[in-house]
Amino acid sequence: QINSNASLTVSLAQTPYCKKHRYDPQNPLCAHIIFCGSIVKVNDSEAGLAKKALFSRHPEMESWPKDHNWFFAKFNITNIWVLDYFGGLKIVTPEEYYNVKP
């Protein structure tokens, strides 16, 4: 409630990729991406989708104690940084990130 800022880092070191290529996890070729933004409580119109998404992946959470004041939130991404080669970070806008076709 006081500071909703958050970041999330995901690295290829979490997969077999870097080990397979003998990259140290700190080597930029063992790429990682950093998402920065804020945690925002979902509104009533988003709550149903949030519940379905969470409980379909973690069904045991549906029975967690209600008196712990859990709430559904989303990560409002404002900055994305990619470190995948030497020479510094690459900046990706959230719009570019969400518009990529797999």
Which tokens go with 13?
């070191």
Burial of 78-92, coded b for 16+ CB within 10 Å and e otherwise, reads eebbebeeeeeeeee
Per-residue pLDDT tens over the stretch 42-52: 999 999 999 99
Distance of alpha carbon 8 from alpha carbon 30, whole angstroms: 16
* Domain definitions of the chain by residue range: 5-99
Indicate if the pLDDT at residue 69 is higher than 90: no
- What is the CATH architecture of 5-99? Roll (2.30)
Whether the model pTM is above 0.85: no
75-90: average pLDDT = 95
* Dihedral of alpha carbons 74, 75, 78, 84, sign: negative
Angle at 78 between CA 48 and CA 10, to 5 degrees: 80
